[in-house]
Structure 1
């Protein structure tokens, strides 16, 4: 009953962006994104191709009538292709599972009226399905931003508490443009009445 109430509350707040003088609610996009769906499809297609090719090698005949039998021996080529195919299919199943459950979605809520900050994220099924963090606004020391370029760039905003805890606020996805990141960080800093710091990489 508790979990059902939490989920309904999260969906209600996650449907829109709210911003006024006293409350800011930021919806957070989870795993249900086009790039994840794209890679899930590609991984499933590639894995299925490898697996059925390996199986064709074992049976010494094509699995599908419209595909010519591969000119490969089952040992070692067929075994390797079957192994990589099964591995790719399992990865794809995991991706579809996270997409279906929309892992990582939620919202950030900043409420001056109640002096509270609430961060809610959806996790995997179980007792940690709802990751719910709550803080007092006057416990926040500053807003931190982290900009890392390179092969795996990361543009992130954090809450930094007086107890030296760092809480990520941005969604896990493609890095947002630096100009938008800095604008969002400045807006939150003004709203919370704290400063902005850069995280040194």
Structure 2
């Protein structure tokens, strides 16, 4: 190929572009951390007979994500384990009329024994089968 036909982009412009892109990404991540997006709790109340799963979402009218169901509507607890380049270990609860709801935090490293113990304890508490092992 002919080197004279190559487009010349000054190094300063390229570095400015990457600097701005990195700053915007870092700002987005810090806002997500400060607002605790994805944070929340799982509450299984035997006295009230209710399952409550609460999460914080992005700012707006749907900031609070709260799913409530009866304990009797729980069908199963599932453990999802995927190893490899990007390993994933997640605990799900399946409720009638809804899709599977994840109970573990994203990116939270949970050991296999701890995940199995949590899944077995929750399945025993709810009186449903444990799947995926």
State the TM-score, normalized to the length of structure 2: 0.89
1:84 equivalent in structure 2: 18
Which structure features the higher share of helix residues? Answer: 1
Instruction: Please say if 1:131 is aligned against 2:37.
Output: no
**Structure 1 position 118 matched with structure 2 position 52:** yes
Aligned to 1:149: 83
Q: Which residue does 2:3 correspond to in 1?
A: none
What's the TM-score once normalised by structure 1's chain length? 0.60
After superposing on structure 2, the runs of 4+ consecutive aligned residues of structure 1 that deviate more than 6 Å are: none
Q: How far apart are 1:150 and its partner, in Å?
A: 1.2
TM-fit CA distance, 1:113: 1.1
Q: Which runs of 5+ in 1 are unaligned?
A: 1-73
How many angstroms apart in 2 are the aligned matches of 1:175 and 1:149? 12
- Residue by residue over 1:14-50, the C-alpha shift from the partner in whole angstroms, topping out at 9 and shown as x without a partner, is xxxxxxxxxxxxxxxxxxxxxxxxxxxxxxxxxxxxx
Whose strand proportion is higher, 1 or 2? 2
| Structure 2 residue corresponding to 1:100, chosen from 13, 34, 44 | 34
Most deviating of 133-142 and 160-169: 160-169
Paired residue total: 126
Unaligned runs of 5+ in 2: 1-7
How far off its partner does 1:75 sit?
3.1
